[in-house]
Chains A and B, each alone.
Chain A
């Protein structure tokens, strides 16, 4: 009962009702319009396939998640480090930022073939690509955040003899955190997408590989379960990040 009340407070009830309507509409549409299985499978069929393929899917999901999380961490650290360097050494920002912007102006999916040729079909190519996409978002957000610290506060610290590095560590980095976390929030679903998309073109394991193979074999149930499990994982990951953000970002 307490749990139910909590859910009502969070506004989950209307959403659950919508989900029920959605399920009813799905099955209703199949029954009413005689939609063939390959266009819209029965939900029961999807559920059966999910349970029969669960080992396969769990294995693929583990591969995809480790690639996207690994790349995410590498990209976040690199993005933050480069942003800090750019703030410490101003000419660096002038010269490096246009390069970063030019690299980022290309839709990330266009790099997939290059990374596959450079780093091979294994997880390294996915890590590199996820790191690139996360890194850019974090870099831009961190740069914006690092410049948020008040000039007055910086001058005050400097007047007390604080070095550039300690100003960065004690003042600018904490001030930049909300903005950085915003960047991370954008980057986390993106990291899953990038990992899946690059697996589609070449991988030994992973959700993207399952999706691509199922498409080639016109096995649309296979596509459905792969997409659904990836979506579920992505939503969970995002929720986890939001939760960590709420618990940890005491300065916000």
Chain B
């Protein structure tokens, strides 16, 4: 996913930039090719394809409603949809920020405290293969149907990949470089801030990208255990009433939020890790 959208966005950016700088006769054309390669264009193409396919093959609404019906439905419930979107977004972002801060801190701790790494970190790796989402039920028992419960759940899911990736990044620092900086008198924090952290950052960003998707999943599933607003709630309601059009409306909303959040992290990555991108 990252490879494609990154490439496409780079092409779009390159198109825009060269157009702005050169201002030659071909900038419109470059803009057009840039647009055609962008995710937006493939989204529009996909929507058109979906629409025509449902008409051409006379797909029943129950199986797959056409996008026009989905958009019409989204418009009729726009107030609810926006409120739910906002609520789920808030849960996801809060959980993600808290989870990644905690993940970075514990990753750094593991990297510098060898005993902890040897004793606790294997458990972290093992817990990555556990169905953590299932703990959501417990989280809801602990915190009740509050915003906090969903945030904790999103935190719980996003925390692990960030920890593992931070540690891997910090461990991967070239020892020769450390030696070189030591020989120039760099110590402790300087060594961390000038060498280890920048070195680890691309790997950390990979963890953050995994974390943001997991965080969204965490808040949606968290809402299933009892809540009144949120995309997860709307999903459940649509399922119980077997309203397929509404179901697809919410799915598209979830997809938009997921891609937007992922895009945001990729953007931050390009800003922060301009010297190297770990793809």
Contacts and interface: CB of A to CB of B under 8 A. Distances in A.
Interface of A: 11, 14-15, 17-19, 38-39, 97-99, 101-102, 104-114, 116-118, 140, 144, 188-189, 192-193, 196-197, 200-201, 207-208, 211-212, 214-215, 218, 220, 223-224, 226-227, 230-231, 234-235, 237-238
Contacts of A101: 1, 4-5, 42
Interface string B1-19: 1011100000000000000
Given A15-B123, A188-B129, A230 B134 contact: yes
A190 B248 CA distance: 23
B137 A215 contact: yes
Contacts of B46: 98-99, 102
A65 to B, nearest CB: 12
A41 B62 CA distance: 45
A241 to B, nearest CB: 9
A108 B251 CA distance: 10
Given A98-B45, A101-B1, A113 B235 contact: yes
Nearest 3 A/B pairs, CB to CB: A113-B239, A14-B119, A106-B255
A104 B115 CA distance: 39
Contacts of A192: 131
Given A98-B46, A116-B239, A227 B131 contact: yes
B142 interface: yes
Contacts of B113: none
Contact of B217 (A109, A212, A220): A109
Contact of A17 (B119, B126, B258): B119
B contact patch SS: helix
B106 to A, nearest CB: 14
B236 interface: yes
B16 to A, nearest CB: 21
Given A200-B224, A201-B239, A223-B137, A110 B130 contact: no
Contact of A201 (B123, B217, B224, B231): B224
A39 B142 contact: yes
B4 A196 contact: no
B236 A189 contact: no
13 contacts: A11-B118, A15-B119, A18-B119, A98-B39, A102-B42, A102-B255, A107-B220, A107-B255, A109-B232, A114-B247, A211-B137, A223-B141, A227-B134
B262 interface: yes
A73 to B, nearest CB: 18
